[in-house]
Structure 1
Amino acid sequence: MQPTLEARRFLGDGVSLAADVSGPLKGQPILFLHGGGQTRHSWGNAVIEAARRGFHAVTLDLRGHGESDWAPDGVYAMETFCADVRLVMASLERAPVIVGASMGGLVGLVVAAAPPPPVAALILVDVSIRLEPEGTREIGAFMTSAPDGFASLDEAADAVSAYLPHRPRPKDTSGLLRNLRLHEDGRYRWHWDPAFIRPASGNKAPDPALLESAAANLSAPTLLVRGGKSRVVSRQGVDEFLALAPHAQYVDVAGADHMVAGDANDSFNAAIFDFIEQLDLV
């Protein structure tokens, strides 16, 4: 029987966090952490595939994103996201495999580096200790490009297509409703708290020294997955990470850009589950 998703709430550090869970409760947990400006729906069918393989999959909306609470103080700093994730991890049956994309990967990296290793394994998705300025500027430009929202779903779909020209524009735009909110003025706005993209929110690039230290202190099994067309993570950035964490494995997903799971879901699934299943955690 095909696994199904069940909505659940987790207690974070003073906020309630939305999640979908699937798979046997006693199975090895896999905790999926999305990137900045994304939601728990950004993983394609990876969560269902995890459940089908006997894992207990949890895909989380980070604070200020999706259906999770917004930060009451408007602060979205690295330590705050990490505090939320540690509380979610503590509620699981055992130490999870963390699969983190972009910002979620940086959170996972910092959390995983704490001794003794609090995770069974770490998978970083198109993120490293050094990010390319061109790619990060593109992300920032998209996130700040429509402060007044959109008059229709078609208008929002046009904006996404301009940002992701390599993806076909969907004929049915209703799927965007998972990432947009209809406000009282009749306009659609992205799901994140506007404070998340304001400098005063504390949402600035993590200290490179913190990330370098975390990479050097990693001891859990680690996989770095890069999109072959990524403008956010370069091969040089990969090499710098592997020099600090030489035990880590590396996979390049050809044809994928920064959002690897959305661009090449079958290849992404093959990469992460081949890695997880060789660890014999189920």
Structure 2
Amino acid sequence: MVIHAPTSPLLSRFRAADLTLAVETRCPAGRPSLLFAHGFGQTRGAWNGAAAALAQAGCRCVTFDARGHGESDRMAEGAESGHGYHMDQFADDLQRLAAAQPQPPILVGASMGGLLGIVLAGEIRPSPFRALVLVDITPRWETAGVERILAFMQAHPHGFANYAEAAEQIAAYLPQRRERKSEQQLRPLLREGSDGRLRWHWDPALLAGDLVQESERYQPRLQAAATTIEVPVLLLSGARSDVVSRATVDEFMHLVPHAQHVELPHATHMVAGDANDAFTHEVARFVQSLDPLPVDRRVAGAAQSQ
């Protein structure tokens, strides 16, 4: 990779089918293009360390808040309307973002973001992605680990009185982290309500609808899609994860025999946050191993029109 200093993150709004998403681009002229898709209940901020380092190495790095998360729009209908969030909406958003990049991007997808990548890479031809980096996720997962995540998300419906209280709860949920989150780090993760209390950045309707049960029903579809993935794949798992296990990893490697697998010994399900340097190193190594880039599709299109 060519080393050069990237510009500061550029924040923009991307129009999806029915709402807009908050998108940040680092090193916009860089190559290759990496598109980062976060997990359920996270924001684009989960990728800040890795995206900054990979942009510094010359990669175009695009991060975004999924619908209903962070600074992206929430669904107009309330959860009680029966028209809440669905997996196919998230997949469509990701497909549209991938198509908007200069070249088919390398998808770096954690948890829910990785599941969406498996579906799109397996079911669409040509693939929207040049390659996949799956971050502690496989088509079948350990239910107990997912239930622990959901329990934390549901635990504080009335929010927090202040940032210190929120930091205390996060520290209890992530005991492997040595440093407690500062108010500055927490500001993007919380919103102040009209009652003055701080609540998580995500739309409560994400938990009130059928999205969680729907993801479980996705498993046969995910397994079928995995068998047809043709692009290079890297699976990065945490040795201390309670979402991905040796059994689910072995099953995935059977479904996608050309995939590479690297286990990070000190990471839980929150791989990038637990071991960002090791995570970034493995992503960079994988990116460097790929074949040379094709011609920028926007340049190719312009040449054909002349």
Indicate whether the TM-score tops 0.5. yes
Q: CA RMSD in A?
A: 1.5
Q: Amino acid of the residue matched to residue 107 of structure 2? A: I
Q: Partners in 1 of 2:67 and 2:292 — Cα distance?
A: 29
Q: CA-to-partner distance for each residue in 1:60-99, whole Å, 9 max, x for gaps?
A: 1000000000122352211110111111112111101000
SS at match of 1:38: coil
Q: 1:3: how far off?
A: 4.0
Matched AA of 1:124: L
User: Which of 77, 86, 92 is residue 86 of structure 2 equivalent to?
Assistant: 77
Three-state SS of the structure 1 residue aligned to 2:234 is strand
Q: Is the 8 A contact 2:140 2:223 kept in 1?
A: no
Structure-1-length-normalised TM-score? 0.96
Distance 1:240 1:56, change over 3 A: same
In structure 2, C-alpha distance between the alignment counterparts of 1:281 and 1:203, rounded to whole Å: 41
More helix by share: 2
Of 126-135 and 74-83, the range deviating more from structure 2: 74-83
- Identify which of 263, 268, 271 aligns with 1:257: 268
Contact 2:99–2:128, Cα closer than 8 Å, also in 1: no
After superposition, what is the alpha-carbon deviation per residue over 1:183-204, rounded to whole angstroms, capped at 9, x for unaligned? 1110000000000012345763
Select which of 168, 174, 182 maps to 1:164: 174
Q: Name the structure 1 match of 2:284.
A: 273
Tell me if 1:50 matches 2:54. Answer: yes
Question: Is residue 134–residue 234 contact of structure 2 (8 Å, CA) maintained in 1?
Answer: yes
Percent of pairs with identical residues: 43
Q: Name which of 11, 29, 32 aligns with 1:25.
A: 29
Of residues 170, 191, 196 in structure 1, which corresponds to 2:201? 191
Q: Does 1:155 align with 2:155?
A: no
Q: 1:26: how far off?
A: 5.4
Counterpart residue number, 1:5: 9
Q: How does 1:240-251 map to 2 (within 5 A)?
A: 240-251=251-262
* Counterpart-to-counterpart distance in 1, 2:48 and 2:235: 19
Aligned-residue offset at 1:2: 5.4
- 1:10 deviation in Å? 1.0
1:216 to 2:224 alignment: no
Give yes or no for the alignment of 1:64 onto 2:73.
no
- What count of residue pairs does the alignment treat as equivalent? 282
Runs of 4+ in 1 over 4 A off after TM superposition: none
Deviates more, 1:46-55 or 1:145-154: 46-55
Instruction: Please say if residues 6 and 55 of structure 2, whose CA atoms lie closer than 8 Å, have aligned partners that are also in contact.
Output: no
State the shift of 1:13 in Å.
1.9
TM-score, with structure 2 as normaliser: 0.88
**Residue identity in the other structure for 1:146:** H
Q: How does 1:222-241 map to 2 (within 5 A)?
A: 222-241=233-252
Once the two structures are superposed, residues 115-173 of structure 1 have per-residue CA deviations (whole angstroms, 9 ceiling, x without a partner) of 22221000100000111121111101000000000000011011101111111242633
Give a deviation string over 1:94-121, Cα, whole Å, max 9, x none: 1010000001110111111122222100
- Structure 1 regions of 5+ residues with no counterpart? none
1:134 corresponds to: 144
How far apart in 1 are the matches of 2:92 and 2:249? 27
